[in-house]
Copies of this chain bind each other. A is one copy, B any other.
Amino acid sequence: MSTITYRSAGVDYDPLDAFKRYCQKSAGTTVGNLARLGFGEPAGIRGETAYLLETDDAYLAHVEEGLGTKVLVADAMYRLTGQSFYRNIAIDNIATIANDLCACGALPVSMAMFAAVGDTAYLADARRSEDLAAGFAEGCEACGAVWGGGETQVLKGIVSPETMVLGGSAFGQIRPKHLRITGDVRDGDAIVCLASSGVQTNGLTLCRAVAERLPEGYLTKLSDGRTYGEALLDASIIYVRFVAECQSRNIPLHYAVHVTGHGWRKFMRLEAPFVYRISRIRPPQPVFDCIAKAAGLDHREAYGTFNMGVGFAVYVAPEHAEAAVACAGECGYEAWLAGRVCREGDRKAVIIEPLGLEFGAETLAIR
């Protein structure tokens, strides 16, 4: 059986990366407007998860995100089973925005949703519409933000009539300024991992390709008795409350990683050369086993693509590791001390010791 990779599943990222480079270059030409408006741009902020504006007493944060193709799984499951997972999908949409925001220490203040359908008939299903609306509100509550507005459009001829595009934006703040997570990582820092709920919002194109290979598609039973589709659609975890609580308990977060595209390679997102030694891993959810087997992915491919049970991680001083784990637990997150950040000369790598895996610096080029 052949392996399914992202390229074979129809996503060639080269033109996308070129477009992003054009955009970054053009965007850079507009920075001169900030001073007149009374704001500054922190050095090195381009390419970070959220755009920050500096004021005298705070950073303001602005993020735009999209949900990706996960809604197609909910559409398929709704057709197959009559069960609506759109509430979860709406929470996923909030999670993609809010988790990027809090990874720099910003807490979301207002969220705005973007939805586009190819045919208004898609929204004529009251259950779908109500579940989406309820899920957006639930997601906003989970991150302590207000749902401020949004836009819904009919894009006939652009969006497939059977589904929708979801995305949105957040405005947030870091107040006071020292709460900003800057990447001030030191040799010996502890890596604290927070569990994901499953695939969350990452790798869904590949997950959908897998469904086509499984004997009963989305209705294939996993080792825990749930269906593949149901497991894929577990709502993403929103990590804002954890970051907020660490801030109020004075647990300094040296860095935070929202584990999404590029899987565990994201642990070395920081430019500075460090080796991230993961010594304790927990078994990923059964859905990952199913994906890896059906797609023919070895550990290296699986951990380099999916979150494999870890949705968020923070790097803290070793003396704060226990407090960070306890803080997460008291906020309802599953968390554990997973490893150490080590300075080993110029070496940059993520090493998953229990699996004998190493990802070198050359495997992650996202800046």
Contacts and interface: CB of A to CB of B under 8 A. Distances in A.
Contact of A151 (B31, B154, B167): B167
A294 B19 CA distance: 38
Nearest to A20: B152
B160 A158 contact: yes
A29 interface: yes
A23 B160 CA distance: 22
A47 to B, nearest CB: 9
Contacts of A355: none
A137 interface: yes
A218 to B, nearest CB: 14
In this complex, the member of A38, A117, A137 whose beta carbon has the largest number of chain B beta carbons within 10 angstroms is: A137
A9 to B, nearest CB: 8
Contacts of A168: 64, 169
Contacts of A69: 155-158
Nearest to A164: B158
Interface string A97-131: 00000000001011011111101111110100110
A97 to B, nearest CB: 9
Interface in A262-276: none
Contact of A33 (B22, B63, B145): B145
Contacts of A159: 158-160, 165
Contacts of A205: 154, 156
In this complex, the member of A11, A107, A171 whose beta carbon has the largest number of chain B beta carbons within 10 angstroms is: A171
Contacts of A121: 12, 15
Interface of A: 10-16, 18-20, 22-23, 25-27, 29-31, 33-34, 36-39, 41, 46, 50-51, 53, 60, 62-66, 68-69, 71-72, 107, 109-110, 112-117, 119-124, 126, 129-130, 132-134, 136-137, 140-141, 144-160, 163-165, 167-169, 171, 173, 175, 205, 208
B149 A63 contact: yes
A173 to B, nearest CB: 7
A182 B51 CA distance: 29
A62 B123 contact: no
Contact of A146 (B13, B30, B173): B30
A149 B11 contact: no
B62 A112 contact: yes
Contact of A147 (B26, B50, B156): B26
In this complex, the member of A23, A66, A117 whose beta carbon has the largest number of chain B beta carbons within 10 angstroms is: A23
B30 A137 contact: yes
A145 B37 CA distance: 8
Contacts of A15: 120-124, 129
Contacts of A41: 146
Contacts of A165: 116, 155, 158-159, 165
A160 B157 contact: yes
A25 B133 contact: yes
Contacts of A158: 69, 71-72, 159-160, 163-165
A27 to B, nearest CB: 4
A153 B204 CA distance: 12
Contacts of A122: 15
